Structure 1
Amino acid sequence: MAHKQHKKQQTKVEKRPIDLLFEQYALYHQQGTNQFIHWFVVPLMTFSISGIIWSIPFPHLNFLGQYNGFINWFTLFMAVVVYYYLRLAPTLSYVMLLTFGLFSYLIVHLEYWEQAGGPTLWSVCLILLIISCIGQFIGYKTEQKKPSFSIGLQFLLTGPIWLWHVIFKKLKFPY
């Protein structure tokens, strides 16, 4: 009898921390409308937060010379977040690094627009953040649950990689 029980325990696959995190996150995203809304508002929220962090003045570092503009609060934030993702699931961290690269490209173009007389980067991103928060609350209203990001930073950081994990699962791509 003990042999059979030991064999059952051996065949039981231990879940990775990332899988447990996704299971917890999914509990707040059961309803189809909420899931659909999240496909738009999570990337928008992630982008807008990235742009707001980018907008925070960063000290000029003379030793960087011509590369001084490439280091800012967002690049430091991005490095920490990508490292966090790397610890959870390397493949997802790589795709988030590419996502942040795309966001950086778009943010730089918003800076060009600002320099040409357009609105400030931070104001555009603040408006996008407000729109994405409204969308989040609409989604959670249909779910009849409080927003998962209100639980803490970990759930706020989970949203973007949760979307990528859904794509990876559909493509049967390991993460």
Structure 2
Amino acid sequence: MHIPAEDQAARPIDHWFASYSADHRNDTNQRIHVFAVPLILWSVIALLWCIPVPVDSGFRAGLWAGLACFAAWMFYFRASRPIGFGMLAVFVAMLWTSFWIERLQGTRFLLGLAIVVFVLAWIAQFVGHSKLFEGKKPSFFTDLRYLLIGPAWVLSKLYRRIGLRW
């Protein structure tokens, strides 16, 4: 991604959001993203939750999900402290939800639910980007880091709506 010289002073997160927003101008596509992106994020966390941990390791279910959330959180926190703290809350809520579903219904149920949510949310994403609405390919086709930017972009929309600066 090329950053113009006059914009070099802006924070990197501002450039990420500006570029992501350029690929998401259609109102319907934006509404789809507000629902589908968090569902995709949760489903990935839930899928990682279902990966078994070594039996005698002393670790519990959710280890891989927790490690992935921590790594992603470091990316967000370095990009923007307010976004980092918000994403920490999102991760805790999604990890807790995965824990709760797994404890009540079992790992097999959590895995099946996560797969269904993942597939349906991605279908919604591609419908939003189709010629019916946005007419542009998803941002992650140009740079995989946009898979991390999407959840933060949705959070920034919430921040803007409630008057918080990110």
Check whether TM > 0.5.
yes
Match for residue 60 of structure 2 among 62, 69, 92: 69
Structure 2 match to 1:40:
35
- Provide structure 2 residue ranges, at least 5 long, that are not aligned to the other structure: none
> How far is 1:79 from its partner?
0.8
Question: Following the alignment from structure 1 to structure 2, what is the Cα–Cα distance between the partners of residues 59 and 154?
Answer: 30
Amino acid at match of 1:20: H
Question: Following the alignment from structure 2 to structure 1, what is the Cα–Cα distance between the partners of residues 56 and 41?
Answer: 27
Normalising by structure 2, we get a TM-score of 0.87
Match for residue 71 of structure 2 among 80, 102, 106: 80
The structure with the largest alpha-carbon Rg is: 1
Question: 1:146 is paired with a residue of what secondary structure?
Answer: coil
- Provide structure 1 residue ranges, at least 5 long, that are not aligned to the other structure: 1-8
Question: 1:29 is paired with a residue of what secondary structure?
Answer: coil
Match for residue 156 of structure 1 among 144, 147, 154: 147
Amino acid at match of 1:45: I
> How far is 1:71 from its partner?
5.8
> How far is 1:13 from its partner?
8.1
Aligned-pair identity in percent equals 29
**Relative to 1, partners in 2 of residues 1:50 and 1:34: Cα closer, same or farther, differing over 3 Å?**
same
Structure 1 match to 2:121:
132
Match for residue 102 of structure 1 among 77, 93, 97: 93
Question: Following the alignment from structure 2 to structure 1, what is the Cα–Cα distance between the partners of residues 52 and 143?
Answer: 26
Alignment length, in residue pairs?
160
Would you tell me which structure has more helix in proportion to its own residues? 1
Q: Which contiguous aligned blocks of 4+ residues in structure 1 show a shift greater than 3 angstroms?
A: none
Amino acid at match of 2:151: P
Structure 2 match to 1:59:
54
**Aligned-residue CA RMSD in angstroms?**
2.2
Structure 2 match to 1:5:
none
Question: Following the alignment from structure 2 to structure 1, what is the Cα–Cα distance between the partners of residues 99 and 66?
Answer: 13
Question: Following the alignment from structure 1 to structure 2, what is the Cα–Cα distance between the partners of residues 92 and 100?
Answer: 12
Contact 2:51 2:61 (C-alpha < 8 Å) held by counterparts: no
Question: 2:145 is paired with a residue of what secondary structure?
Answer: helix
Contact 1:18 1:88 (C-alpha < 8 Å) held by counterparts: yes
Question: Following the alignment from structure 2 to structure 1, what is the Cα–Cα distance between the partners of residues 44 and 143?
Answer: 15
> How far is 1:112 from its partner?
2.2
